């Protein structure tokens, strides 16, 4: 029991550190190669912070634990909105100036609904996984097209400022990119082993472990980057990171895991986990879209999101305790 627990702690620590270095190296490399700042913000940084979820879920599916992969993706999505954006909005009101963010938010809601339709037969088959991955690359293509249009955007200016404050030579960026990727793979394998061993020892499902411990650990990069952005007044960057991360989780993370091994969907995913994820996504859309004026996420709305996360986590914990005494 102590060795798997140590594997989780060490795996998460290395995972978070390596993800940060991977994103820094990737963003700096992209800048040196002439990639537009807006594209770096929405694709490299936003999706790059989901590298922990991708590697952990891929290893989980590869090693015969696809439920952990699904729990990691959906748990991270709920956590990103309810906990991370909740904390961010409590620190500083999030005002949405970026047109790209406003266009990505309806896409995230549509993608969440699509994932729900694919869950309906209680399995994510390889065919379903291909649908998710095709949708992912389609959105990636749209993001590239939007960024290449060359029009200045609030998010673009924030990314330029962030990159300018942490200059990095191309050689250094490539080194950190390689080291970060290597350690991501190693730490993910260690974390998955520890999580599965803990789940078996406690008699809980891989899904619950994925929704809680693994989801929280793999979402730490989003938490750190969003809080930092909020404290600097870069609210669009904080929201853009979360939208990009959730799109990546829903489409690429689940898609890659489902392509490796079909995922059997437990009943509680349909009755508990997916409805909560859909509810917080729809709630965020209503709060931040701004139908006639710039959208915003206020302090009290952030507190509301936090209360939803606390209630959802309490629901999961109660289920585990109830099961253990049954």
Residue 192 placed within a domain = no
Distance CA 150, CA 220 (A): 32
Residue 28 placed within a domain = no
Distance CA 91, CA 93 (A): 7
What band does 150 get if pLDDT is binned at 50, 70 and 90?
A: low
Q: What is the pLDDT of residue 239?
A: 81
Q: Is the pLDDT at 64 greater than 60, yes or no?
A: yes
Closest CA to 93 of 234, 304, 221: 234
Domain count, the chain: 1
Q: What is the pLDDT of residue 130?
A: 96
Distance CA 242, CA 305 (A): 14
Q: Find the domain containing 83 and state its range.
A: 38-153+203-324
Average of per-residue pLDDT across 255-270? 92
100, two tokens = 């790209």
Residue 31 placed within a domain = no
Closest CA to 227 of 80, 84, 81, 79: 84
Residue 194 placed within a domain = no
Q: Is the pLDDT at 281 greater than 90, yes or no?
A: yes
187, two tokens = 């730490």
Q: What is the pLDDT of residue 163?
A: 62
Looking at per-residue pLDDT, the higher value among 324 and 280 belongs to 280
At 264, which CATH number? 1.20.1420.30
CA angle at residue 208 from 204 to 212, to 5 degrees?
125
Residue 146 placed within a domain = yes
Average of per-residue pLDDT across 261-285? 93
Q: Is the pLDDT at 149 greater than 70, yes or no?
A: no
Q: Is the pLDDT at 229 greater than 80, yes or no?
A: no
Q: Which of 44-53, 158-167, 292-301 has the lowest mean pLDDT?
A: 158-167
Q: What is the pLDDT of residue 322?
A: 59
Distance CA 81, CA 188 (A): 23
Residue 282 placed within a domain = yes
Q: Which pairing describes strands 123-124 and 263-264: parallel, antiparallel, or unpaired?
A: antiparallel
72, two tokens = 């990691």
Q: What is the pLDDT of residue 231?
A: 72
Residue 174 placed within a domain = no
| pTM of structure | 0.81
Residue 188 placed within a domain = no
CA angle at residue 115 from 273 to 213, to 5 degrees?
40
* 264 Cβ contact partners less than 8 Å away, ≥ 6 residues apart: 66, 67, 122, 123
Distance CA 317, CA 37 (A): 42
Q: Which of 30-44, 64-78, 194-208 has the lowest mean pLDDT?
A: 30-44
Distance CA 165, CA 37 (A): 14
């Amino acid at each position: 029991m102590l060795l798997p627990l140590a594997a989780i702690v060490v795996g998460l620590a290395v995972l978070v550190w390596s993800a940060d270095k991977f994103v820094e190296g990737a963003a700096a490399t992209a800048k040196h190669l002439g990639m537009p700042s807006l594209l770096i913000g929405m694709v490299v940084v936003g999706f790059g912070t989901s590298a922990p979820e991708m590697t952990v879920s891929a290893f989980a599916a590869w090693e015969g634990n696809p439920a952990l992969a699904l729990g990691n993706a959906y748990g991270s999505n709920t956590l990103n909105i309810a906990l991370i954006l909740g904390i961010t909005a409590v620190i500083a009101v999030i005002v949405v100036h970026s047109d790209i963010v406003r266009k990505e938010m309806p896409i995230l809601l549509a993608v969440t609904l699509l994932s729900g339709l694919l869950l309906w037969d209680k399995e994510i088959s390889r065919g379903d996984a291909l649908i998710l991955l095709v949708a992912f690359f389609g959105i990636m293509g749209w993001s590239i097209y939007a960024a290449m249009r060359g029009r200045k955007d609030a998010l673009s200016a924030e990314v330029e400022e962030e990159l300018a404050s942490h200059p990095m030579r191309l050689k250094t960026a490539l080194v950190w990119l390689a080291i970060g990727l290597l350690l991501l793979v190693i730490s993910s394998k260690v974390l998955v082993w520890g999580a599965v061993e803990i789940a078996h020892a406690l008699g809980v499902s891989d899904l619950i472990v994925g929704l809680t411990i693994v989801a929280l650990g793999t979402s730490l990069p989003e938490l750190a980057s969003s809080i930092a952005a909020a404290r600097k007044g870069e609210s669009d960057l904080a929201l853009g990171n979360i939208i990009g991360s959730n799109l990546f989780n829903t489409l690429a993370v689940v898609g890659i895991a489902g392509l490796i091994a079909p995922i059997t969907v437990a009943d509680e995913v349909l009755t508990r986990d997916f409805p909560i994820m859909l509810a917080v996504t729809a709630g965020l859309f209503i709060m931040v879209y701004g139908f006639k004026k710039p959208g915003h996420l206020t302090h009290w709305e952030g507190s509301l999101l936090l209360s939803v996360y606390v209630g959802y986590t309490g629901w999961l914990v109660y289920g585990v305790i109830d099961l253990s005494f049954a």
